[in-house]
Amino acid sequence: MILLRTIVDNVYIVKPYDPNVNDCCVYMVDTKSDAGLVLIDVGLNFEPIQGIEKDGFDLKNIKHCLITHGHIDHYGACYKLKEYNKDIKFYAHELDAEVIEQEITNPYIAQIYADYKYELIKISKKIKNDNEILKFGSLQFRCIHIPGHTPGSVAYLLELGGKRILFAGDLPGTAINYQGGNLEAYLKSMQKLLKINIDIVCEGHEDPIQPAEKVLKFIKGYMKFNEKLNRIALENPYDIETLLELAKISYKIGFYENTLDFCNYALEIEPDSDRAKMLIKQAKKHNPPKIEYIKNLINRVSGSQN
């Protein structure tokens, strides 16, 4: 019996989204061939990956690991895979490969993960070209370069079980013109994705998004989200209209913790805002975890500009 959640036959969620844990979602594709198991991202916590053995999969059979981008919450536990299979191959875009192969230099990131023990890995294959194909057995993954969140973000497209599945990393991550983020590049990347008929998006910090029409809405929603987030972070952190719009977009996308966060921040600026209070009420019905992201972001960006 398979305990893992199945997306389509032979495609599994190894590490599902958990809003209370600082980690990314991890997916696994069984190639049913000598190419073994393909993991998409590894995240930080290795325990859920060991859990595949309960379903009869062999950790030694993980032969390939596709890394979506150079943020440690996506590749931190890669080195542990080598303990089971020293020949495992790691894949990442060449523009993020250097970050992955080196010690963390960003002091903010280093501080967040100060207690996290990890070892450096070498990228076995650096993806250089947009639409490059990786073949594992009879399966093909198309590497779509989607810079914006980071310069070397990659989404891996797989057609299987009659579905086009996109493993997209932090597609809905921030794309602020700051420390490797780039809004203009992000918007172009998303335009590229909108032209592909994607049935399911499997990304880093949410449950899979499907069907195709929801995927379109999701991508368009995040394009708007990041445009407005740039305005808040870089132009005017006290722009209450934009904050409330961000809260609304987050609500529509189903990211209720963000809705709360934007509204709470808006209330600090305008304590009587009825619109913020109403949105908080609506978001709370979904019991989201409490996050304090927006304030940290603004402090960080404004701090670095001083």
Binding site for Zn ion (CB under 5 A): 71, 170, 173
Q: Residue 260: which residues within 8 A CB-CB, separation 6 or more?
A: 280, 283, 284, 288, 290, 291
Between residues 204 and 237, which has the closer beta carbon with respect to Zn ion?
204
State the minimum distance, in angstroms, from the CB of residue 223 to Zn ion. 17
Which among 221, 196, 218 is positioned nearest to 208, based on CA atoms? Answer: 218
What's the token pair of residue 1? 């019996």
Q: Residue 112: which residues within 8 A CB-CB, separation 6 or more?
A: none
Between residues 107 and 271, which has the closer beta carbon with respect to Zn ion?
107
Between residues 63 and 69, which has the closer beta carbon with respect to Zn ion?
69
Which residue in the shown chain puts its C-beta closest to Zn ion? Answer: 71
CA 66, CA 79: separation in Å to the nearest integer? 13
State the minimum distance, in angstroms, from the CB of residue 73 to Zn ion. 7
CA 135, CA 141: separation in Å to the nearest integer? 6
State the minimum distance, in angstroms, from the CB of residue 270 to Zn ion. 31
State the minimum distance, in angstroms, from the CB of residue 207 to Zn ion. 17
Considering only CA atoms, give the Rg of the chain: 19
Between residues 170 and 245, which has the closer beta carbon with respect to Zn ion?
170
Between residues 71 and 145, which has the closer beta carbon with respect to Zn ion?
71
Q: In this structure, are residues 33 and 61 in contact, taking their beta carbons and an 8 Å threshold?
A: no
State the minimum distance, in angstroms, from the CB of residue 69 to Zn ion. 6
